[in-house]
Structure 1
Amino acid sequence: MKVYKKLMNALAAVEKVVLVVTTLLILVLTVGNVFSRKVIHRSWSFTEELVVAVFVLITLLAAALSCREGGLVNLTLVTDRLPKKLKKPSVILITVLSIIFSVILFKYGMDKVITQLENGKRTFVLNWPEWIFWSFVPIGAGCMILHLIEYCLDVCFGNKNDKEGK
């Protein structure tokens, strides 16, 4: 269990670095494009493709990190009102349903990536392979699955200062 926790901590650290770097990238591209349009009167046409794709990555990685803390798993309005003996089973049920959703998201994301690889479709402006941008969906879904499992194990085995009490 300790090795698993160390791996998950390392994954979370990588995710946080990716989130910081991609958020800064979006900031620089968006501000740069606005500056370019208003001052130089030339638009950076490639920014829309990059910003939309990177925003998908940011959304899914942030959701994965939220899963790690139980943010997407619990609907506290319901679970806080349950008797103590039903809290753990409800977290397990909600986690299983969330994992099923994430597996479906992963599967359809991988199907889209494979289709894009087979078709060789490219983006309009940057002319990059579209599978690169679509790969953000299964990456984010995979991270969500891992963090959902981590959260469920933490709740079931009482790790991390008894997460169900949070």
Structure 2
Amino acid sequence: MKVFKKIMNAVVAVEKFILVISTLLILILTVGNVFSRKVIHRSWSFTEELVVAVFVLVTLMAAALACREGELVNLSLVTDRLPEKMKKPSVILSTILCVIFTAILFRFGMDKVLTQLANGKRTFVLNWPEWIFWSFVPIGSGCMILHFIEFCIDFCTDKNKKEDK
């Protein structure tokens, strides 16, 4: 279990690094484009393409980190009123459903990446391969699956430790 936690902590460190770099990239591109439009009177046409793609990555990575804390999909209106014995099964059921949904997202994301690779389709402005941007979907959903499972394990083992004492 300690090895799994170390691996997941390393994954989180990489995710946080990606989030910081991606957010800075969005900030620099957006502010730079506004400055360029207002001062130089020339728009950076590539910024919209890049910012939208990187925003997808930021959204999915942030959602994955939220999954780690059990904060992404959580309707506590019902689960808070459950008896203590029912909380663990409800978390397990919720995890199973979330992993199924995210696995479907991963599958469709991978299908799109493979289709883009086969077609050789490129972006309109930058002329980059589209599969690069579509790869953010399976990467983010893969991280979400890992963190859903991690949260469920943490929740179930913490409850067991508290009940044993």
TM-score by length of 1: 0.94
Distance 2:137 2:74 in 1: 23
> Equivalents in 1 of 2:73, 2:59: separation in Å?
16
- In 2, the alpha carbon distance for the partners of 1:77 and 1:14 equals 33
| Matches of 2:78 and 2:27, distance apart in 1 | 38
Gaps of 5+ in 2: none
Count of residue correspondences: 161
The gaps in structure 1 that reach 5 residues or longer are none
> Given the two structures, how large is their TM-score scaled by the length of structure 2?
0.95
Moved more, 72-81 or 36-45: 72-81
Corresponding position: 1:22 with 2:22? yes
CA shift at 1:72, angstroms? 1.6
Moved over 4 A (4+): none
AA paired with 2:55? F
Per the alignment, residue 32 of structure 1 pairs with: 32
Q: After superposition, give the CA deviation of every residue in 1:44-70 in whole Å (9 maximum; x if it has no partner).
A: 000001000000000000000000000
Task: Provide the C-alpha distance between the structure 2 equivalents of 1:78 and 1:54, rounded to a whole number of angstroms.
Answer: 35
Aligned pairs for 1:1-166 within 5 A:
1-158=1-158
Note the C-alpha offset of 1:155. Answer: 1.0
Give the drift of 1:76.
Answer: 1.3
- Supply the distance in 2 between the matched residues of 1:10 and 1:83 (Cα, whole angstroms): 35
SS in 2 for 1:34: helix
**Are 1:73 and 1:91, in contact at CA under 8 Å, matched by a contact in 2?**
no
Query: Percent identical across equivalent pairs?
Result: 78
Alpha-carbon distance between aligned partners in 2 of 1:63 and 1:81, rounded to the nearest angstrom = 26
Query: Which region of structure 1 is more displaced relative to structure 2, 68-77 or 99-108?
Result: 68-77
Q: In structure 2, how many angstroms separate the alpha carbons of the residues matched to 1:74 and 1:46?
A: 37
Aligned equivalents of 2:125, 2:6: Cα separation in 1: 41
**One-letter code aligned to 1:69:** E
RMSD: 1.2
